[in-house]
Structures are given as structure tokens and as C-alpha cells.
Copies of this chain bind each other. A is one copy, B any other.
Amino acid sequence: MTKTQPVARRSEAPPAPVDTDEKVLLAAGKLFREKGFAATTVREIASAADMLPGSLHYRYSSKDDILVALMKRGVERAIKSVESATAGEPSAIERLRLGLRAHLELLCNGDDSLYVLLFDWRSLTSGALKGVIRERERLESYWEGLLFEAHASGVARPLIDIALVRHFGFGAINWVATWYRPKDGRTPAQIADAFWSFLAFGLLHESARPKDLDTHFAALLAASFKKES
């Protein structure tokens, strides 16, 4: 639906003119995250991107189109971010931890497109739905792959429905976006690690658990968790 991306606009242009399509997506993402797709007006997006509504429609043929473009970007970035965070790490369990960190960091700090993908699902018209679902399935199977590798490495409990674990993990981690406040003092990475510790306890064979697991995590998490008596 999006117009074909004009090739290499102004490659020799001034410092950081920021691609115009990008500006729109950035502004739309911010607004969709704050107020939701349906409650955001095209005029708001345009004015946040320093354009006029007409100019916006020159690049995206409809409001839905912006949503779809944003969501596809959300999937892409999520996969790319997790991929590059886990690349080169030999331990499957550790890859899981690093992947969770990357996903949550993207979701909390970086990119509204992932948030919109995850939380504005219902705003997709059935026409656009299919295209985005296909993309989203790529993300889901990527995570199932990570989980499968962890399981295949032999340290996980036997009774696992991987899709179910993915759903629980996705839910817990994605939900962070609804309550995370940067000023609370915990970084997304710390939160992700904390969640991983809960997950791991549930995932690991009894034998795979370090004898000193509690103290092991104590060291890891002490910094960020506020103690309670």
C-alpha cells in the first residue's frame, strides 16, 4: 500500500534531514502509543511530523497504511534486534536471556512501532490484517526457535508446550510496557533479567540448577530489586 520508497533521496544532503517517511512513522508511532490508533487524528500525525495533512497522504495513502507500515517495521526491528543481541552466543539459555533483554529494551526505550504492533492489534482492518499477521508470525516463530534451542540443549523441564511458554513470556515481557517508567530506577535490561530468572527456574531441570542458585541471582539482581523484609 505504501508508495514505493523513493530511491536514495538526497544521498549527499545536509547532515541529518531525516527521511520524510521516517519522520511520519516516528510521529505516528509516538501518538499511536500514547492515545491509540483510533483516537489519533491524521492531522495530529501530520503536525507532529511538521507536515500538512495533504502531504502526509502523498506518502501514505491512508491512515491504515501508516499503521501497517509501522507494524511491519515493528516486526522487522524486533527480529533484527533480538538476532543481533543473540548472535555469537553459544549457550542457548544465555541466548534466551539476551533476547529477552533486547526485546524489552526495544519495547521500552527504543521504538514505538513494536509497542503499536503488540497493543493496537484490533485497529487493523481485515484487509490489512493478513499482511501483518504473516509478518508477526515470523517474530513468533523466531522466539519459538530460541525456546526450542534452549529446550533442545537438554536443560529444560520435560513437559513443555513451547507455544505456551512463548505466550507466557511474551505476555509478561510485553506487559512491562504498560507499567514501566524510566524514572523508577530499574532498567529494561534488569527487568528482563529478573523475568528470565523466574522463567529459568521454571524451565530448568532440577539438576541443571546451580546449587547456589539463590545467591547466584542475588548477586545479579540485588542492585535493582528493592528488598522487602
Contact = CB atoms under 8 A, between A and B. Distances in A.
A88 interface: no
Nearest to A205: B214
Contacts of A214: 157-159, 206
Of the four ranges (under 10, 10 to 19, 20 to 34, 35 or more), the interface on chain A belongs to 35 or more
Nearest to A219: B159
Contact of A202 (B36, B160, B199): B199
A50 to B, nearest CB: 18
B165 A176 contact: no
A175 B179 contact: no
Contacts of A39: 38, 122-123
Contacts of A169: 172
B38 A36 contact: yes
A142 interface: no
A214 to B, nearest CB: 6
Contacts of A37: 38
Nearest to A40: B38
Given A178-B121, A202-B197, A202-B201, A168 B172 contact: yes
Given A159-B227, A199-B202, 4 more contacts: A121-B178, A171-B175, A201-B201, A206-B213
29 contacts: A36-B36, A38-B39, A121-B178, A151-B228, A157-B201, A157-B214, A159-B217, A159-B218, A160-B225, A160-B228, A161-B225, A161-B226, A162-B228, A164-B191, A167-B172, A168-B175, A168-B195, A168-B198, A171-B175, A171-B176, A171-B178, A172-B172, A174-B175, A175-B175, A199-B202, A200-B202, A201-B201, A201-B202, A206-B213
Q: 3 nearest interchain CB pairs?
A: A171-B175, A38-B38, A201-B202
